[in-house]
């Protein structure tokens, strides 16, 4: 079994390896290493992931590839800093990331995409994957996949808050700009996903449909279960954006189809992780800024 090393460069919370000078923020960035392949997935909400990498003694100057999971600010906000530090590394993203994205709250639309419309600029190292490129090998045994299963019953439950600009109108986001990373291994595949707006169950089943002979040994990423709502005292507290039954159904699928472990973070939330753990038990854990995984 090949060793896969994952360094959580930035996440919402601070992990045990996070020193006092390191940053955490609402966002996600992780470095994935297998053999000589080094893939950066997402850049958090700011450029702070770069300083964190330095403090973790992690060199980001020689990257095999950069993958953007989708065009929301908390995953693409560090793009300008990234282009300064790694101007030539190939960057893989969906063609649909060129849209302008918004989040609706209390009837108000707020821009939710990358800074300064960077993805609209023409750069030779930007590789925009089209609808007929739903499974692209970007390094040996490393694939970027577009989720081609769109069963609505497995979508995240706050998906209706997200929009993109279409002409003069803002329309509900179909999340065609979302993608995930798969590392295939004879001893078991590993899925890396950042938010899973289209549903982690759809993502897992996409892999098993494309590679029915494979086994999924681990999943790393967020599942978009997190929400905040007022408690009886009117204080905003963390909760989940779905029913416990939906979370348990999701956990049951993961328990059945992921052999070894589920590592979750970011938009799952710690309450969401605890709810999934009611089914998954110690087969799931929450990873934070500075954490290092060996899979």
Residue 12's pLDDT is: 97
The mean of the pLDDT values for the chain is: 95
Exposure pattern of 27-64 as b/e (b: 16+ CB <10 Å)? bbbbbbebeebbbbbbbbbbbbbbbbbeebebebeebb
The predicted-structure confidence for 257-292, as pLDDT tens digits, reads as follows 999 999 999 999 999 999 999 999 999 999 999 999
User: Which residues fall within 8 angstroms of residue 208, CB to CB, at 6 or more apart?
Assistant: 214, 216, 257
Residue 149's pLDDT is: 83
The predicted-structure confidence for 133-154, as pLDDT tens digits, reads as follows 999 999 999 999 998 888 899 9
Beta-bridged to residue 221, according to DSSP, are 193, 264
- Min mean pLDDT across 34-38, 117-121, 192-196 is at 117-121
Residue 178 has pLDDT above 60, yes or no: yes
Residue 49 has pLDDT above 90, yes or no: yes
Q: What is the mean pLDDT of residues 210-220?
A: 97
Distance of alpha carbon 15 from alpha carbon 292, whole angstroms: 10
pLDDT band at 233 (very low <50, low <70, confident <90, very high): confident
Which H or E run includes 7?
Answer: strand 4-10
Residue 230's pLDDT is: 87
Distance of alpha carbon 289 from alpha carbon 11, whole angstroms: 5
CA atoms within 13 Å, Cβ hemisphere of 178: 27
- Residue with token string 């990234």: 82
SS3 116: helix
Residue 1 has pLDDT above 60, yes or no: no
Specify the number of domains making up the chain. Answer: 1
How buried is residue 235: exposed, middle or buried, by Cβ count under 10 Å (0-12/13-18/19+)? exposed
CATH number at residue 199: 3.60.15.10
Residue 179 has pLDDT above 70, yes or no: yes
The predicted-structure confidence for 63-103, as pLDDT tens digits, reads as follows 999 999 999 999 999 999 999 999 999 999 999 999 999 99
* Percentage of residues in the chain having pLDDT higher than 70: 99
Distance of alpha carbon 41 from alpha carbon 62, whole angstroms: 14
Angle between helices 200-210 and 244-257 (to 10 degrees): 20
Say if pTM beats, i.e. exceeds, 0.85: yes
Segments forming the whole domain that contains residue 145: 4-294
- 282 vs 156, 184, 224, 246, 261, CA distance in Å? 23, 24, 20, 19, 8
Pairing label, strands 37-41, 65-67:
parallel
User: Which residues fall within 8 angstroms of residue 177, CB to CB, at 6 or more apart?
Assistant: 70, 71, 93, 94, 96, 97, 99, 101
The predicted-structure confidence for 107-124, as pLDDT tens digits, reads as follows 999 999 999 899 988 789
């Amino acid at each position: 079994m090949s060793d896969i090393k994952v360094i959580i460069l930035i996440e919402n919370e601070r992990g045990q390896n996070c020193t006092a000078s390191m940053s955490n923020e609402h966002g996600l960035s992780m470095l994935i290493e297998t053999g000589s392949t080094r893939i950066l997935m997402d850049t958090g909400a700011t450029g702070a992931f770069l300083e964190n990498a330095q403090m973790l003694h992690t060199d980001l100057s020689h990257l095999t590839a950069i993958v953007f999971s989708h065009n929301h600010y908390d995953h693409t906000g560090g793009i300008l800093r990234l282009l300064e530090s790694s101007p030539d590394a190939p960057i893989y993203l969906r063609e649909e990331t060129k849209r302008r994205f918004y989040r609706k709250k209390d009837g108000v639309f707020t821009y939710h995409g990358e800074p300064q419309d960077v993805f609209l600029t023409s750069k030779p190292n930007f590789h925009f994957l089209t609808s007929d490129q739903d499974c692209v090998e970007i390094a040996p045994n490393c694939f970027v996949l577009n989720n081609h299963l769109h069963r609505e019953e497995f979508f995240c439950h706050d998906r209706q808050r997200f929009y993109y600009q279409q002409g003069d109108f803002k329309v509900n986001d179909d999340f065609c700009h979302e993608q995930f990373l798969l590392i295939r291994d004879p001893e078991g595949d590993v899925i890396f996903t950042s938010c899973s707006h289209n549903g982690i169950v759809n993502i897992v089943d996409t892999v098993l449909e494309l590679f029915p002979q494979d086994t999924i040994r681990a999943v790393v990423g967020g599942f978009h279960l997190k929400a905040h709502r007022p408690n009886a005292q009117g204080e905003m507290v963390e909760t989940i954006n779905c029913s416990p039954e939906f979370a348990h159904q999701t956990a049951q699928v993961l328990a059945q189809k992921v052999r070894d472990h589920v590592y979750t973070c970011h938009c799952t939330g710690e309450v969401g992780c605890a709810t999934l753990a009611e089914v998954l038990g110690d087969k799931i854990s929450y990873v934070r800024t500075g954490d290092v995984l060996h899979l």
